[in-house]
């Protein structure tokens, strides 16, 4: 980010940056209102008027942190747990280890992830089945329990897995696992 300060009119860039956020309210999140990535983090683009590189693509919260503190830590974490927030008061520099600890403390990591040397009966999900996140509560799920109930009804009526997959926007393998009971076992029709 130091390159940006060296090659560009920083005052104009900062003014343009804050123009893409909700107004400042003390203590509240200041939300990014422009483009966001698939995870909800703001995306900010800076064009270099002097040539190479032509432009920089930045995560908005990282640039906000840099504007406030003029440092770029490995990870910029949100104390408010809101990916679109760019309020420097809500941003904390740290390491990837700090970020993972935050995820675990706030329950944002899918339970059942594997640690090296942890398999079979020693796996977390086998020792803590009541705390395992599955179905629509899983952060990566595209389907809801209601969708899966409908899928099971469609399968029972003889509809093809390919058509069901296309209708719900998922891979045919997902429908196959629902059909065989390898996934979404908790949903009954």
In this predicted model, what pLDDT tens digit does every residue of 135-145 receive, in sequence order? Answer: 877 777 889 99
Whether the per-residue pLDDT at 124 is higher than 70: the answer is no
**pLDDT tens column, 19-40:** 999 998 888 999 999 999 988 8
Task: Give the tokens for residue 13.
Answer: 């860039």
pTM of the complete model:
0.57
pLDDT > 90? residue 93: yes
Residue 111 scores a pLDDT above 60: no
Q: What's the pLDDT at 120?
A: 53
pLDDT band of 180, cuts 50, 70, 90: very high
Name residue, tokens 């209601």. Answer: 146
- 123: confidence class by pLDDT, cuts 50, 70, 90: low
């Amino acid at each position: 980010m130091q390159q940006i300060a060296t090659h560009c009119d920083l005052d104009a860039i900062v003014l343009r940056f804050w123009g893409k956020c909700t107004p400042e309210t003390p203590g509240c999140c200041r939300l990014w209102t422009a483009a966001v990535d698939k995870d909800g983090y703001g995306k900010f683009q800076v064009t270099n008027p002097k040539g190479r590189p032509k432009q920089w693509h930045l995560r908005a919260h990282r640039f906000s942190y840099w504007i406030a503190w003029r440092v770029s830590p490995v990870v910029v974490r949100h104390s408010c747990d809101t990916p679109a927030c760019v309020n420097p008061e809500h941003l904390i520099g740290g390491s990837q280890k700090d970020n993972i600890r935050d995820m675990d403390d706030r329950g944002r990591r899918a339970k059942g992830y594997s640690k090296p040397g942890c398999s079979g009966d020693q796996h977390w999900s086998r020792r803590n089945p009541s705390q395992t996140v599955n179905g629509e509560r899983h952060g990566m799920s595209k389907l809801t329990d209601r969708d899966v109930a409908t899928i099971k009804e469609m399968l029972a009526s003889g509809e093809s897995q390919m058509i069901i997959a296309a209708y719900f926007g998922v891979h045919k393998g997902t429908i196959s696992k629902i059909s065989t009971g390898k996934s979404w076992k908790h949903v009954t029709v």
